[in-house]
Chains A and B, each alone.
Chain A
Amino acid sequence: MSAVARLLSSHKPGPERLRVLSASGQLGYGIAAESFERGLARRPHVIGCDMGSIDPGPYYLGSGQMAAPQAMVRRDLERVLCAARALDVPLLIGSAGTAGAGPHLQATLALLREVAQTHQLSLRVATVTSDLPSDMLVQALQDGRLHALDEATPGAGLPDAQAVRSCSHIVAQCGSHTFMQALRLKPDVLIAGRSCDTAIFAALPMMLGYDPGLALHMAKIIECTSLCCEPGGRDAMLAQLGEHDFVLESMNPALRATPASVAAHALYEQADPWQVDEPEGTLDLRQARYEALDERRTRVSGARFSPRPAPTLKVEGAARVGSRAVLMAGVADPGLIALLPQALREVDKRAHQLLPGAWQMVPHLYGQGAVRPLPAEQRSSHEVGLVLEFLAPEMELARTAAAVFKQNLLHFGYPGRLSTGGNLAFAFTPSECEAHESYRFVLYHLLEGVDPDQVFVVDAQDWSWQKEAA
């Protein structure tokens, strides 16, 4: 009997609480071993990990690359898989490989398989594929079923069909419903492409009969492991879910889950502190109550879930902008600093005359408002860091543009120039670097009028290994 089958047949809401262990909020960046071991000693019924996020920008979705280093991903997978198999409890992983598109899911699955083979662990693995064909989005666009998240936000308008088709990957965040569909395949391990963080931790409790409001609120908090504590951390977090409330406890004894720290966490990365939108409905936190059980544990109750009549899916799509080369240099001459925007425009013009082609320079002037616009009096007059991006259809052109621009800026004769030795200070040479491909988000929208069972592909595979003779 698989781990999910065993749990579904042996546990129901009652005197024994469901113990949910969140092992990692960012699988692939290391799992603190001692805290995780303490969590295992509490004999969790299920272990969950979130692996993805849209935080690191459009590159990962667009390119199909993982943000976390592969060796660390393998190490973390080894830790959680071996633990889950030793306890014979389900292991649930969401948003595989950072962005949760096909290549991310396949790469994560391949590493998991490697670990399973190394340890001769036979298991049943369910998968959720979260990729959408661009035709589905183009059709939705034509039918008026694709919406901006916030209609009032500028730039949040709808892309045209051509832009949608230019996306290298399009995914939708699957919700608890889809996780449940995958769990019905009775796996030991569930690994999903792009997922709502909540689905990872809420779906199984909901299948077991726990209140959806409580399950989703618990999931929302523990998907970041111990970030909801004082002080915040990345250590494993245990939630004990009952019929009327859940209790939160960090597996690092130095971290305290207090009513204030847990309530404050509801604000994190959320535009609205009261409302969390899920594909299947809305979680309302207005009535949530947080009470200290002791100085390290908080009891939470009161969240309500209202299902919506038809599901909506959050879709994400990224398209390639071009190849990127970067030039880094410092400027210390106040005369040039004062003229910098004009100097860059002039050099840009010259460089485009010298090197025709579809390349573009995007300046980041550190000390002059590169991070956010700075009023004139706050801009540095004694030192500026230049990070100049060169974007072009091919890397060869981007790199060439960076080199041509560098040399022309180095010797640019601006009015009043005293320093004829050169305008730039290089910390190292070559000072122009190839900096990957550039992608941008084309889609970050709501999709209506689709059946999640038609969008997400749920599947399972059995892995077993021939034991080698000793």
Chain B
Amino acid sequence: MSSLGAPTPTALKHLASVVRSKNAGPLCLTVDLFFRDRPAYERAIASSGLSADSVAWLYGVQAEQVRRFDLPEILAIKLAMPRALCVGDPGDGDVYGAQQHAPLLEVLL
């Protein structure tokens, strides 16, 4: 792997130690990203790959519906956004919301 801070973009999955999604109540999806070290975290918060606009595009929601919390003490970023469907409504494909992290894995930072 190239060293951190190198100019080449790196996929989030190589910079994070945990990438998880889960419901926060039946109407809200939340994604927690924990980074391997401080340089990885700094790189992530500075990148446009995790901006509200980028996340909104990935998840098909409006940018103003994406809430992002930067948590430098624990090298984490938290995202929260509305679910497309209420949990368990006909057509919902992920009742726990546990597999909604996938599109973030390849995001280049």
Contact = CB atoms under 8 A, between A and B. Distances in A.
Interface string B68-93: 01010110101010100111111101
Nearest to A360: B90
Given A268-B32, A389-B90, A439-B88, A444 B78 contact: no
A444 B65 contact: no
17 contacts: A57-B95, A58-B26, A58-B87, A150-B82, A152-B65, A152-B82, A153-B27, A153-B65, A155-B82, A264-B34, A264-B76, A267-B71, A271-B24, A271-B28, A273-B71, A371-B94, A441-B89
Contacts, number: 103
A373 B99 CA distance: 12
Given A56-B95, A269-B24, A440 B88 contact: yes
B13 interface: no
Interface in A37-69: 54-59
B9 interface: no
Contacts of B87: 54, 57-58, 441
A67 to B, nearest CB: 12
* Most A-side CB within 10 Å, residue of B25, B65, B73, B102: B25
B43 interface: no
Given A156-B27, A270-B24, A273-B71, A441 B86 contact: yes
B60 interface: yes
Interface of B: 18, 22-28, 30, 32, 34, 60, 64-65, 67, 69, 71, 73-74, 76, 78, 80, 82, 85-91, 93-96, 99-100, 102-103
Interface in A277-334: 321
Contacts of A260: 74
Contacts of A153: 27-28, 65, 82
> 9 smallest A-B Cβ distances: which pairs?
A57-B88, A271-B24, A271-B80, A58-B88, A153-B82, A57-B95, A362-B90, A263-B74, A267-B32
Nearest to A363: B91
Given A373-B60, A441-B87, A364 B26 contact: no
A272 interface: yes
A155 B24 contact: no
A467 interface: no
B92 to A, nearest CB: 8
Contact of B82 (A55, A154, A269, A444): A154
Nearest to B60: A373
B19 to A, nearest CB: 13
Nearest to B75: A260
Interface string A416-431: 0000000000000000
Interface of A: 54-59, 149-150, 152-156, 260, 263-264, 267-274, 321, 360, 362, 364, 370-373, 389, 391, 438-441, 444
A152 B28 CA distance: 11
Contacts of A371: 93-94, 99, 102
A263 B25 contact: no
B88 A441 contact: yes
B60 A55 contact: no
A363 to B, nearest CB: 9
Given A362-B91, A372-B99, A444 B26 contact: yes
B54 to A, nearest CB: 15
Given A54-B25, A153-B82, A439-B88, A271 B74 contact: no
A199 B67 CA distance: 28
Given A152-B65, A156-B82, A441-B86, A370 B26 contact: no
Contacts of B67: 271-272
